[in-house]
């Protein structure tokens, strides 16, 4: 079976013989990868035009939501990915790290986008800089997607995570990608990629796939494009030096294999928790993915007096590792990805033998497999007795279950040996001695992308030496490639162009969509807190009345807050201070400011969400009068989970001035502001007016209901909501009820043509209960009045609904609003 490539929105096969891909466990043919005949120039052009236009025009928030939807879609289909992953030689645990670890990276970046990125296609980076005396000329920076395509070249060891951890940042940044997995495990990448496209959540041109050799694709990269490479340091350096990449200033990020180390602390003697943790961690890192990890431990650095103890304990631990077919759940280590890689691994082991001693050579029997058919390789452990003289352990990486023990005397030697790897993705220290850890870690940090410290205090929650995390940087200096991936939002910067913007406050506000101090304010008669999230405009402002601070205010706030700091309470203690008399508390000024600018009337503002950048500039004394200027500074869209009202965050600039117009306090407060509901309110007069527009001749826009059937249906729903009568049962399964009830809080409309489970199975309409439509309308309005009165008198009542289960007052109101809107739209009444 030939794997298809996804180019310019089409699935196409190569026209050559291709590369045969075999099952790593039994040697059977799985697929053929072939890229011969692919027009790579066309692929790059399609990505730069169609892909860039579709992706870069989306906001960061929307791109984050896209990642979440894709991850959920893939998660539902994960079972088939595991079956393919087993054929690469990966065990169930190996596959979990690769498959669901990849999905988890999408989820993480979706969450970061929701919490921290703007609902715009660009991103304002950093604070506004004042570059003129009077503040009429300012500067800031914005980040925008690079106008190009990211060519993603991946290694064979993580066919899913390797693709998704790069796409999480490139897609969120708004840059289209061409994914080029290693051929040897590309059949798994292909299956996941195919589902990503079929999900319908990825815009056209945003993703393309090349399953096989990369051909001449890098001959066509140009300024604006980028190359993101994971693989051997040798190959990475060769690609980086290509004339087209160097000559066109193409961005290049490399994450290469590295000789990572783990250091056992001087304190971690036999019998300590740290010694046991060290043995377990090294064993895991040697055998997970059969040692085929760029973060695996290749150098085991131990105190010279513990070499024998470590060798014995680690040998026993490796003896217990069961090797064989991943289909057998007893298997703890699977196969190397292919026979070709086994031969390369054997060559590297022979090179290590030339200078170091092989002290452990696994003689394992296989479970459900054999060495002849499968690509299996048993663990090997070497000993380098003179690690400062014999450099082979620091230069040669055997990419499999192979590692080398080497001794050290003190913290300086441990750090020096760690750095002899000439640049590593990760180094770990297992110790409970804080002084040793501190001294060693900062000395080795310059040659490491990540330092992982393990001891008894964090072992239970530790993520492990070899696990890169989305919120932390993955990469390393020197041999490790000098690149950076992930690292939270920092990972997006590689795909973004940073541009300085200079202009007046009004211009900067217009460009950035963030209010800049000095820009024009938009004063309105309506209080800003009475606007829904969609209605708030950046620059919307309020000037409050003044409030004169009294000595009683200062005394009372001291008593209420228990803040009896001398400057607020003792006028005789002010000599040598910056205060002339008793000063009002800073937090009183902020509280008083809130009292001036807050609207007491219930409205769209749900809650105070936080406080940022609060500073006090001038003291406020009894007799001073403060006034507040409140200005909408920035809007942040946000998703909601569970039973929360759809809302966004509005940042407000709070400027407090005294009677001399001197600024005494500046702060940014965050409010949670409700979004405007698309559903009709439970307002009797409005509903009566709407229902008056319904006649016997009104035709439904969907469904079979007549006008009278619709009105009687709404009447009965109102009656069920007050228990007259009680619904006899809920037709929704218990396990789905929470999800159904949560949906009431979302601004999603009810589906059309919904087959209600309580209606006749044959689709027939129930008999009419009222003489005519007018009588039905009257009965409906009576039921509405009864519903309103009932919940005023019984605010904690709950009654059963046929679909949504037991509902309280709030839930019934949300349901009625959606339900009324649904049927009023059905008959074109709204």
The pLDDT of residue 756 is 72
Give the structural domain span for 736: 684-826
What value does the mean pLDDT of the chain take? 94
In a domain, 481, yes or no: no
645 shares a domain with 715: no
> Average pLDDT of 461-484?
91
132, part of any domain = no
| pLDDT tens-digit series, residues 493-503 | 999 999 999 99
What pLDDT score was predicted for residue 509?
95
Q: Is residue 396 pLDDT above 80, yes or no?
A: yes
Is the same domain home to 181 and 327?
Answer: no
Residues 214 and 267 in one domain: no
The conformational region for residue 215 under phi > 0 = left, psi -120 to 50 = alpha, else beta, is left
Question: Which of 196, 230, 256 represents a domain boundary (last residue)?
Answer: 256
Note the pLDDT of residue 758. 66
Number of domains in the chain: 4
CATH number, domain containing residue 552: 3.10.129.10
Q: What is the mean pLDDT of residues 556-584?
A: 93
Q: What CATH number is associated with residue 248?
A: 3.40.605.10
Q: Which residue has the higher pLDDT, 643 or 163?
A: 163
Whether 11 is covered by a domain: the verdict is yes
**For the segment 164-200, what is each residue's pLDDT rounded down to a tens digit?**
999 999 999 999 999 999 999 999 999 999 999 999 9
Answer yes or no: do 13 and 40 share one domain: yes
CATH number, domain of 369, equals: 3.40.309.10
- pLDDT, tens digit, for every residue of 658-688? 999 999 999 999 999 999 999 999 999 999 9
Judge if 668 and 760 occupy the same domain.
no
Whether the per-residue pLDDT at 640 is higher than 80: the answer is no
Mean pLDDT of all residues in 771-799: 96
Region of poorest pLDDT, from 94-98, 210-214, 395-399: 210-214
User: What burial letters (b/e) apply to 143-155, b meaning 16+ CB within 10 Å?
Assistant: bebbbbbbbbbbb
| pLDDT value for 789 | 96
Q: Give me Rg for the CA atoms of the chain.
A: 33
Whether 243 and 293 share a structural domain: no
Whether residues 547 and 411 fall in one domain: no
User: Is residue 495 domain-resident?
Assistant: no
Residues contacting 775, CB < 8 A, separation 6+: none
Q: Are residues 654 and 744 in the same domain?
A: no
**DSSP sequence for 98-136:** HHHHHHHHHHHHHHHHHHHS-SSSSEEEEEEEE-STTSS
Q: What pLDDT was estimated at residue 641? A: 77
Is residue 65 over pLDDT 80? yes
Write out the catalytic residue numbers. Answer: 255, 294
- pLDDT above 80 (res 417): yes
User: Within a domain: residue 131?
Assistant: no
Q: What is the average pLDDT across 561-588?
A: 93
Q: Is the bond leading into 73 cis (omega within 30 degrees of zero)?
A: no
Final residue belonging to a domain, choices 256, 272, 291: 256
pTM: 0.87
Same domain assignment for residues 269 and 249: no
Q: Is it the case that residue 739 has pLDDT exceeding 70?
A: yes
Contact 645, 811 (CB under 8 A): no
Q: What is the mean pLDDT of residues 613-629?
A: 95
- Which residue's structure tokens are 């061409």? 178
Q: Is the confidence at residue 302, as pLDDT, over 90?
A: yes
On whether both 693 and 636 belong to a single domain, the answer is no
Q: Are residues 252 and 271 in the same domain?
A: no
Task: Name the domain boundary from 674, 695, 713.
Answer: 674
**711-728 confidence digits (pLDDT tens):** 999 999 999 999 999 998
Cα 765 vs. chain centroid, distance in angstroms?
A: 48
Does residue 505 belong to any structural domain of this protein? no
What's the pLDDT score for residue 643?
A: 84
Q: Is the pLDDT of residue 754 over 80?
A: no
Q: Are residues 635 and 696 in the same domain?
A: no
Q: Would you call 733 exposed, middle or buried from its count of C-beta atoms within 10 A (0-12, 13-18, 19+)? A: exposed
Tell me whether residue 559 is in a domain. Answer: yes
Quick check: is 812 in a domain? Answer: yes
| 301 has a pLDDT exceeding 70 | yes
pLDDT, tens digit, 9 for 90 and up, residues 693-712: 999 999 999 988 999 999 99
């Amino acid at each position: 079976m030939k794997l298809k490539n996804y180019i310019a929105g089409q699935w196409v096969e190569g026209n050559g013989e291709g590369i045969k891909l075999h099952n790593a466990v039994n040697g059977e043919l799985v697929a053929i990868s072939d890229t011969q005949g692919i027009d790579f120039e066309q692929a790059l052009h399609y990505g730069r035009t169609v892909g860039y236009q579709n992706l870069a025009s989306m906001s960061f928030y929307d791109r984050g939501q896209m990642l979440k939807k894709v991850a959920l879609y893939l998660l539902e289909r994960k079972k088939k990915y595991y079956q393919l992953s087993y054929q690469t030689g990966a065990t169930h645990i190996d596959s979990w790290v690769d498959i669901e670890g990849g999905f988890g990276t999408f989820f993480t970046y979706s969450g970061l986008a929701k919490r921290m990125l703007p609902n715009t296609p660009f991103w304002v980076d950093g604070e506004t800089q004042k570059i003129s005396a009077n503040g009429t000329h300012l500067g800031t920076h914005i980040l925008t997607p690079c106008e190009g395509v990211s060519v993603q070249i991946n290694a064979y060891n993580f066919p899913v995570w390797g693709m998704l951890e790069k796409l999480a940042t490139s897609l969120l940044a708004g840059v289209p990608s061409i994914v080029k997995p290693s051929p040897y495990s590309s059949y798994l990448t292909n299956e996941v990629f195919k589902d990503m496209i079929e999900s319908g959540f990825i815009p056209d041109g945003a993703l393309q796939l090349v399953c096989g050799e990369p051909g001449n694709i890098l001959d066509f990269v140009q300024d604006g494009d980028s190359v993101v490479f994971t693989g051997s340091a040798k190959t990475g350096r060769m690609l980086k030096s290509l004339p087209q990449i160097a000559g066109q200033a193409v961005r290049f990020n490399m994450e290469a294999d590295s000789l990572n180390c783990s250091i056992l602390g001087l304190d971690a003697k036999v019998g300590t928790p740290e010694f046991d943790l060290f043995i377990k961690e090294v064993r895991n890192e040697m055998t997970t993915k059969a040692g085929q990890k760029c973060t695996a431990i290749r150098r085991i650095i131990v105190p010279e007096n513990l070499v024998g103890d470590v060798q014995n304990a680690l040998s026993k631990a490796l003896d217990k590792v069961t090797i064989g077919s991943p289909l057998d759940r007893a298997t703890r280590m699977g196969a190397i990805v292919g026979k070709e890689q086994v031969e390369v691994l054997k060559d590297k082991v022979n090179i290590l033998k030339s200078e170091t001693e092989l002290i452990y050579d696994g003689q394992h029997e296989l479970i459900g497999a054999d060495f002849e058919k499968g690509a299996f390789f048993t663990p090997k452990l070497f000993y380098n007795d003179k690690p400062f003289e014999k450099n082979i352990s620091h230069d040669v990486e055997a990419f499999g279950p192979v590692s080398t023990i080497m001794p050290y005397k003190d913290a300086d030697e441990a750090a020096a040996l760690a750095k002899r790897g000439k640049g590593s993705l990760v180094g770990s220290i297992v110790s409970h001695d804080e002084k040793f850890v501190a001294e060693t870690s900062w000395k080795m940090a310059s040659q490491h992308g990540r330092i992982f410290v393990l001891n008894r205090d964090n072992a239970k929650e530790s993520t492990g030496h070899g696990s890169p995390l989305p919120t932390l940087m993955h990469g390393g200096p020197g041999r490790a490639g000098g690149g950076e991936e992930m690292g939270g939002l920092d990972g997006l910067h590689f795909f973004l162009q940073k541009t300085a913007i200079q202009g007046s406050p009004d211009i900067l506000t217009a460009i950035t969509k963030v209010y800049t101090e000095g820009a024009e304010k938009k004063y309105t008669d309506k209080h800003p807190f009475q606007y829904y999230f969609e209605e708030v405009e950046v620059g919307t402002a309020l000037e409050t009345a003044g409030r004169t601070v009294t000595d009683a205010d200062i005394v009372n706030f001291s008593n209420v807050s228990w803040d009896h700091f001398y400057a607020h309470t003792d006028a005789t203690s002010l000599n040598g201070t910056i205060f002339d008399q008793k000063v009002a508390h800073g937090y009183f000024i902020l509280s008083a400011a809130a009292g001036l600018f807050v609207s007491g009337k219930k409205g769209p503002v749900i809650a105070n969400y936080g406080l940022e950048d609060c500073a006090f500039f001038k003291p406020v004394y009894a007799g001073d009068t403060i006034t507040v200027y409140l200005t909408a500074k920035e809007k942040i869209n946000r998703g909601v989970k569970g039973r929360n009202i759809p809302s966004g965050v509005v940042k407000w600039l709070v400027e407090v001035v005294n009677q001399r117009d001197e600024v005494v306090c500046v702060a940014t407060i965050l409010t949670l502001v409700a979004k405007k509901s698309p559903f009709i309110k439970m307002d009797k007069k409005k509903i009566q007016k709407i229902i008056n527009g319904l006649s016997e001749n009104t035709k439904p826009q969907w469904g079979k209901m007549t006008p009278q059937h619709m009105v009687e249906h709404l009447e009965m729903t109102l009656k069920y909501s007050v228990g007259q009568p009680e619904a006899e049962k809920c037709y929704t399964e218990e396990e789905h009820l929470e999800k159904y009830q949560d949906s009431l809080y979302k601004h999603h409309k009810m589906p059309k043509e919904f087959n209600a489970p309580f209606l006749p199975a044959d689709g027939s309409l129930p008999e009419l209960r009222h003489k005519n439509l007018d009588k039905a309308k009257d009965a409906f309005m009576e039921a509405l009045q009864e519903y309103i009165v009932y919940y005023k008198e019984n605010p904690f009542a709950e009654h059963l609904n046929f679909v949504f289960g037991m509902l309280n007052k709030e839930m019934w109101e949300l349901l009625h609003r959606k339900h009324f809107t649904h049927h009023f739209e059905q008959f074109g009444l709204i």
